Chains A and B, each alone.
Chain A
Amino acid sequence: MKTQNTVFNDIQKHLESLEFSVEYRNTGNIETVGDGIVQISGLSEAMMGEIVEFKDGTTGMVINLSERNVGAIVLGNYLNLSEGDEVNTTGNIISVRASYNLLGRVVNPLMQPLDGSGRVEKSRSDKDMPIEKIAPGIIKRQSVNTPLQTGIKAIDSMIPVGRGQRELIIGDRSTGKSAVAIDTIINQAKLNREKKAKKVISIYVAIGQKQSKIVQVVDKLNEHGAMEDTIIVCANSSDSVALQYLAPYAGCCLGEYFMEKGEDVLIVYDDLTKHAWAYRQISLTLRRPSGREAYPGDIFYLHSRLLERACRLSDKEGGGSLTALPIIETQAQDISAYIPTNVISITDGQIYLEPDLFYQGIRPAVNIGLSVSRVGGAAQIKAMKQVAGKLRLDLAQYNELSAFAQFGSDMDDISKSKIERGKRLIEILKQPQFSPVDLSSQIIQIWSVTHGYLDDVEVADCPAKTIEFVDVVKTKVEKLSDILKSKEGINEEFEKKLIGLAEKYFKKN
C-alpha cells in the first residue's frame, strides 16, 4: 500500500521528467459537412488514410486528396461539426489495436466494445495493425493444402474449402447464406475442442445489418460454445457509412494479426453487397464520377484489395492462414449483376444458394451446378475424394433425368435407378442448421449411399439409417478418424471391413 507521500513523490518525479515539447500541426477548416463526409480546405500535408482531429475531439479519416481540398469520412458523430471548424492532422495512418483479448468480444470497427463487458484489456502482445495494407506477395505464400471443414456435407464433399482460400457465399435474401457461415464458425469451435487439432480463430464481420440479427448470431455462438474463439466486428445499418466502409478492413487486420502469429483464421464478411452500397454513398457524396449502377470506378479494387489479403503463409512466415468467406446478396437470382460478377471473379470459387431449392426443403440450398471450389480440391483429404468423386456427377445426372421424368415418359431401368439413387443422395445431403457433421460421419454416410446400400431403404428413412450405420462403424472400427484422415484414405482392407459391416447392418434392418 502506497502512502500519500510516496504517491505525491511519484507524481512529482513524473512531472519533473516531462519535457515541454513543440507540437507541429497541419491545420485546415471545414468547408462542407454532409452524411458523414467533410470537405476540408488547407491540410496541404494530409496523407491518404491519415487520421484527422476535429475541434470537438471527433476523428476522421482522409479518403480523398485533391488540389483544392481534402475529403474525409467522420468516424463518429458528425452532427456537432460545422462549417469553418478547425481540423488538424495527426500524422497517424488509421490502424486498429489487435489483441488476443478481443476473442469472445463484440466490437465496432474501431475496436470499441459493444457487448457491455467493459474495456478490452491491454496486453504486451497487442499490436497496432494498419487498416489498409498491401496483401502478402508470392514469396510469402504457399498453396492451399489443408482443408477447412465447414461441417456441412454438401460443401465439404463437393465444394471443399481450404485454409487460405476465398470462397464466396452467394444467393438471394433468406436462402441461408449467413447460416452456412455461422455453421462453419460453430464447426471450427467444435473441432478446436478436439485433441491435436490446430485451432481456428473465427472473425465475423457484420456490415450494415440489423442489430437484432447480430444479437441472434451472438446468442447462437454462445449456445454452441463458439464465442470464445470468435470476434464479432460490427457496423450496423444505423452506424455511419464510414464505419460500414471500414468494418471489413478492420476485421481483416485482426485476421492478419493472428495469421502472422501462425494461427489459422476464418473470416466471414456478411455482406459485401452492403459494403459496396456504403462505398457508393461515400463516393457520391465526395462527388467522384459514378459508373455502372452509380458505383465509382474503383469498386472492383475495393473488394479485390480486401480479399487478396486472404492467404496461406509459407512455413518460413509462420504457416498461418486467413480463409475468407465473403457473402453477396443477389436480387432475383441475378448472379450476373455488377457486384456479384466482380466478387465471383476475385474469389477462388462460390457456393450458390438457390431459393427454389430452399423452398423445396433442400437445405442447405446449395446449387451444385453453379457452385465450385477452384482450389479446395487440393486441400480435400483422400478418403473424402474417394467417396465424393462420383457424387457431383451422380447429382448432375439425377437433376437431368428427373427434369426429363417430369414429362411422364417411360424410362429404362438404369435411368430409374439413377433417379432413385439421386433422391437418396439429396436426402442424405440435407442438414439442419447449427448441426455440423464430423468428417468421419460425412464420409461413411456418403459412402453408404454411393455404394447402393440405401437403394432399398425408403427415401425418408435414409438420414436416420445412415446415422445409425455411422454409429455401428464407429463402435466396430477403432481409430476410425485416423484411418480416414490417413494419406492412404480408404484402403482395400478398410473397405472390405466397411462392406462387411454395411451388408450385415442393412440386411438386418
Chain B
Amino acid sequence: MKAKDSDAKIIASKIISYLQSKGKLDLITEVAKNLLSNAEPKKVNVYYAVNLSEGQKKKIISKFFKLTNSDDFNFISDKSLLDGIIVKYKDRTWDLSLKNNLEKIIQL
C-alpha cells in the first residue's frame, strides 16, 4: 500500500512539474478530471439467461456500441432473468428481460 502511495506521489509530482514547465499549471483540475474519467471502467456487461449464439452476440455488440461507444463487452450468465438480456454500462441499464416484463404485468 505504501509503495503504491509513493508511486502515485512521484507520478503526481511529475505531472505538476511538467505542467509548470509548460506554464499551464492552471489546467491541473481539468487534467485530474480527465484522468478520472479515463480511468472509469468502460466495460459493457451483458447478462443473459439462455445461451446466446455468436450471431446474437454480434447483433447485441453492434447495437450497443452505438449507444455506449465501447467495444469492451462482457457476457455473464444470470438464470434469474428467465429469458432476454440486461445490458449495463456505467450507471445506465437497458432491461430486456422476461423477468422485468412479467413483473410489469403483475403490477398491472
Contact = CB atoms under 8 A, between A and B. Distances in A.
B100 A23 contact: yes
Interface of A: 15, 18, 20-28, 42-45, 88
Contacts of B98: 20
A356 B22 CA distance: 74
B93 A27 contact: yes
Contacts of B57: none
Interface string B66-108: 0000000000000000001000101111111010110011000
Nearest to A19: B101
Chain A CB within 10 A, most for which of B88, B93, B98: B93
Cβ-closest 10 pairs across A and B: A42-B91, A23-B95, A25-B93, A20-B101, A27-B93, A22-B96, A27-B91, A44-B91, A28-B91, A24-B94
A505 B104 CA distance: 77
Interface residues of B, number: 14
B62 to A, nearest CB: 16
Contact of B90 (A20, A24, A25, A44): A44
Contacts of A44: 90-91
28 contacts: A15-B105, A18-B101, A18-B105, A20-B84, A20-B98, A20-B101, A22-B94, A22-B96, A23-B96, A23-B104, A24-B92, A24-B93, A24-B94, A25-B92, A25-B93, A25-B94, A25-B95, A27-B88, A27-B92, A28-B91, A42-B90, A42-B91, A43-B91, A44-B90, A44-B91, A45-B91, A45-B92, A88-B93
Contacts of B92: 24-27, 45
Interface of B: 84, 88, 90-96, 98, 100-101, 104-105
Contact of B93 (A20, A21, A26): A26
B37 to A, nearest CB: 11
A109 B90 CA distance: 34
Contacts of B104: 23
Contacts of B90: 42, 44
Contacts of B93: 24-27, 88
A338 B104 CA distance: 49
